[in-house]
Amino acid sequence: MSGKVRDSEDKAHNAHMDKGTHTVTIFRPYPLLPSHKIHIDGGPRGGDWEVMEVGAHKIKLRCPVSLRVIDCDHFCCFIEEATRVPWPRHD
């Protein structure tokens, strides 16, 4: 790619980015700790889990009903915290 083409692409990108404020959705990884009780709403891991171990890249979860244990990559982002919620749920 020539320098001229790249320069005009950079200018067009910067002009687009400088058009005022935007609504931005911000996700933050949740700092899970062993013994946390969590509910995952949807997806392949949906349901209630207890955090068993937290590593640098992996977490170990246990289902409180079946006692099944899974190891998976960190994936949890904080969305909402609720109090006085029945756990585990028996939907």
**Domain map (residue ranges) of the chain:** 28-73
Position with higher pLDDT, 88 vs 8? 88
β-pairing, 47-54 with 58-62?
antiparallel
Answer whether residue 10 shows pLDDT above 70.
no
Return the structure tokens found at 10: 């950079």
Section 79-91 average pLDDT: 74
Answer whether residue 76 shows pLDDT above 90.
no
pTM over 0.85: no
Other Cβ atoms closer than 10 A to 76:
18
- Beta-carbon contacts of 61 under 8 Å, excluding residues fewer than 6 positions away, are 38, 45, 49, 50, 51, 52, 69, 70, 72
Section 53-76 average pLDDT: 93
Give percent of the chain with pLDDT exceeding 70.
75
Helices (H), the chain: 3-17
d(CA 32, CA 29) in angstroms, rounded, equals 9
d(CA 57, CA 74) in angstroms, rounded, equals 6
